[in-house]
């Protein structure tokens, strides 16, 4: 019954947000970076986020979520607010980045204890690991936003990662994200009647980063990275390749592998289905393999993903 509530609440929430967005003309207008051709309501991801935080609070007060994890996840709320404002008004990048950085610092403090505040002052007692954790949260927050560029892609990735994390690690919060995203996907599958918006994609990246860091000291860490590998590998490799070409990294572009595959003539739905097939293969491999070989699997996966990227290059050049 609880999971049914999550699904129905997200469906109803997405419908309501779509109605308001149309009424207030909060539409995503096509531009040179877009993969759509018609103005479409945006901000539907807010329904996922609201449902998730209602569920999180319920589980916390039923002693099913630890204090540190609860407040680390609450640290994403400023990101939710600034992302919503950006969807409505378009904020400066430095404002968004500043809020993301502050939220990431708060999250690391809650995850590791107040003593981790030392790293902010760059004292000798500070840990470079905490700095790396903050950078990782901010990066995953932004790359999830970067990869939300075609219908159903970010939503399907969330469904997959959430379900896989529940089956592999027993992570109930990840399952809630998956169910909520499934409700949103009813409106976001090609052809989408509403987009996720920054208010959905950025907090989702932040939340997944918290899940990963919360398991950083366990055998779940590398499997988490593998489950999310299609997103972070594409975003990171694309950034590196653009830097090598001396492009302005702040300039909008359509060079991610999934975008180029779409440009090569593959529909939104086909790209998402192909990505899902790759994800399922990753999950089955992890499910059937002992944790002792996770590092080897991780290295092999990186080589496979690089090979797939080069294959996409033959269909649509990186230029």
Does residue 194 contact residue 42 with C-beta atoms inside 8 Å? yes
Distance CA 237, CA 242 (A): 9
Does residue 209 contact residue 136 with C-beta atoms inside 8 Å? yes
Chunk the chain into consecutive blocks of 10 residues (it has 319) and report each block's average pLDDT, rounded to whole numbers.
Answer: 95 97 88 75 97 97 95 98 95 95 95 58 58 94 94 97 97 98 96 95 98 90 97 96 89 90 94 97 97 95 97 92
What is the pLDDT, as a whole number, of residue 37?
73
Domain ranges, residue 213: 2-315
Distance CA 39, CA 201 (A): 19
What is the pLDDT, as a whole number, of residue 319?
82
For residue 316, give Cα distances in angstroms to 49, 254, 260, 276, 313: 35, 11, 6, 21, 5
Structurally, the chain folds into a number of domains equal to 1
Nearest 5°: phi and psi at 60? -65, -45
What is the pLDDT, as a whole number, of residue 130?
87
What is the pLDDT, as a whole number, of residue 190?
87
pTM of the model as a whole: 0.94
What is the pLDDT, as a whole number, of residue 116?
45
What is the pLDDT, as a whole number, of residue 216?
87
Could you tell me which residues come within 8 angstroms of residue 197 by beta carbon, excluding any fewer than 6 positions away? 28, 42, 43, 44, 45, 46, 83, 84, 87
Best CA proximity match to 198, nearest among 276, 95, 111, 108: 95
């Amino acid at each position: 019954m609880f999971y049914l509530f999550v699904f129905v609440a997200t469906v109803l929430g997405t419908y309501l947000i779509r109605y308001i967005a149309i009424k207030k003309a909060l539409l995503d207008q096509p531009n040179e970076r877009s993969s759509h051709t018609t103005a479409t309501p945006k901000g539907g991801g807010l329904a996922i986020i609201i449902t998730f935080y209602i569920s999180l609070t319920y589980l916390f007060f039923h002693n099913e979520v630890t204090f540190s994890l609860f407040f680390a996840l609450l640290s994403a709320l400023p990101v939710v607010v600034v992302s919503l404002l950006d969807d409505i008004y378009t904020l400066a990048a430095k404002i968004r980045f500043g809020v993301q950085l502050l939220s990431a610092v708060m999250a690391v403090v809650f995850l590791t204890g107040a003593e981790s505040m030392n790293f902010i002052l760059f004292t000798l007692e500070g840990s470079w690991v905490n700095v790396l954790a903050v950078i990782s949260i901010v990066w995953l927050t932004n790359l999830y936003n970067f990869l939300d560029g075609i219908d159903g892609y970010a939503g399907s990735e969330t469904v997959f990662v959430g379900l896989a994390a529940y089956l592999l690690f027993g992570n109930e919060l990840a399952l809630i994200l998956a169910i909520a995203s499934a409700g949103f996907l009813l409106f976001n599958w090609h052809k989408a009647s509403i987009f996720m918006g920054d208010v959905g994609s950025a907090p989702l990246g932040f939340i997944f980063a918290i899940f990963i860091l919360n398991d950083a000291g366990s055998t779940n860490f590398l499997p988490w990275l593998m489950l999310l590998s299609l997103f972070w590998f594409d975003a990171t490799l694309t950034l590196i390749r653009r830097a090598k070409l001396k492009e302005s990294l702040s300039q909008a572009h359509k060079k991610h592998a999934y975008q180029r595959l779409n440009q090569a003539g593959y529909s939104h739905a086909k790209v998402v289905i192909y990505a899902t097939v790759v994800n399922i293969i990753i999950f089955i491999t992890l499910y059937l393999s002992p944790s002792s070989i996770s590092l080897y699997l991780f290295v092999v996966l990186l080589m496979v993903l690089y090979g797939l990227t080069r294959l996409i290059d033959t269909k649509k050049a990186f230029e």
